[in-house]
Structure 1
């Protein structure tokens, strides 16, 4: 699935404007009013884009209070996006995850902390060798309170690092579930070379620096 782009292709990607992120349809998504997803059976939902969803799915499922992480697409202006279509960079969508969690066990604020602790926060349009607008970092908010949590944490992190934080902040509109073969990919394909060389190391880097009391498998 994931391939290392030749250097000349990377140069082309960064030398050209990304039309998926600047056209009028995409701007309408960015300027829209957020849609709030109601609780279902006491569980809340949150949405994040942070590079390959195979990696992000496993990271969030290691956090206490997270019931499930679903891979999909969000942030774009087309309906029913597919993996192939999103990879063109023309749909505006990014690979994203839907986090189903117990708000009594883990807060949205902590989920944002997980987000920033599990990626290269300064890399624009990608994570590692996964490059392109479909791999860009986006945090989605569903109401003003969530938006302020995101903006304050992003500002504090930028100040701490003395660098610009790449994550975009979008009003949540809709999450499109990815194809079945993408779901639980790390768990179902532990011997895949991408999983061994990229996903698992990224998960382990996150777990090594995040408070152990907030991770599954550890006790307070």
Structure 2
């Protein structure tokens, strides 16, 4: 059974790199969602004025990897206690947010937040927001880490996040 989640947790390059290493993840699409500007581009989203978040749509096969693992990996790879930022990436475009397709998915997201709240000392600030329009990011953002493995940001930020997921979810690695 194929399912997709739209999730935002800082720079989409990091989420993309972490999810692509998991068995059962069929596709990861870097995208923009949660804003008001139709068909925004990267430069517009970077200003913070569009209201969009950098996000990923994770398409996965629930017969290979449970939805709970996809969501627990999300809460492992980023810090959901940071409001409108992840490390040095600051602005609403880097917020921690989940965008459900329907009420059933909203309930799954709420349960994931509750589970993850046990792992952090500070309160989780991840929001659950209406999905709205999802605009795929430009092609050069898709699978960015694989195309740019020696890029400084990837080495300093994406690799440690991917490694946290590798360590915690080793049984699901490709």
Secondary structure, aligned partner of 2:50: coil
Contact 1:65 1:106 in 2 (8 A): yes
Secondary structure, aligned partner of 1:150: helix
Q: Which has the larger radius of gyration?
A: 1
Q: Which structure carries more strand by proportion? A: 2
- Please report the RMSD computed on the Cα atoms of aligned residues, expressed in angstroms: 1.6
Identify the match of residue 213 of structure 1 among 166, 171, 174. 171
CA distance in 2, matches of 1:138, 1:215: 25
Runs of 4+ in 1 over 6 A off after TM superposition: none
CA distance in 2, matches of 1:207, 1:65: 14
Q: Which runs of 5+ in 2 are unaligned?
A: none
CA distance in 1, matches of 2:104, 2:5: 13
CA distance in 2, matches of 1:86, 1:197: 23
State yes or no: 1:179 paired with 2:138. yes
Identify the match of residue 105 of structure 1 among 64, 71, 94. 64
Contact 1:108 1:146 in 2 (8 A): no
Secondary structure, aligned partner of 1:71: strand
2:155 corresponds in structure 1 to: 196
1:85 corresponds in structure 2 to: 44
Listed as ranges, the matches of 1:31-42 within 5 Å are: none
State yes or no: 1:148 paired with 2:107. yes
Contact 2:2 2:61 in 1 (8 A): yes
Secondary structure, aligned partner of 2:128: strand
2:83 corresponds in structure 1 to: 124
2:97 corresponds in structure 1 to: 138
CA distance in 2, matches of 1:130, 1:99: 22
CA distance in 2, matches of 1:105, 1:70: 19
State the number of aligned residues.
Answer: 174
Contact 2:72 2:116 in 1 (8 A): no
TM-score, normalization by structure 1: 0.74
Secondary structure, aligned partner of 1:63: coil
Secondary structure, aligned partner of 2:117: helix
Q: Which runs of 5+ in 1 are unaligned?
A: 1-41
Contact 1:51 1:135 in 2 (8 A): yes
Contact 1:75 1:172 in 2 (8 A): yes
Kindly state the Cα deviation for residue 118 of structure 1 after the two structures are TM-superposed. Answer: 1.0
Contact 1:141 1:171 in 2 (8 A): yes
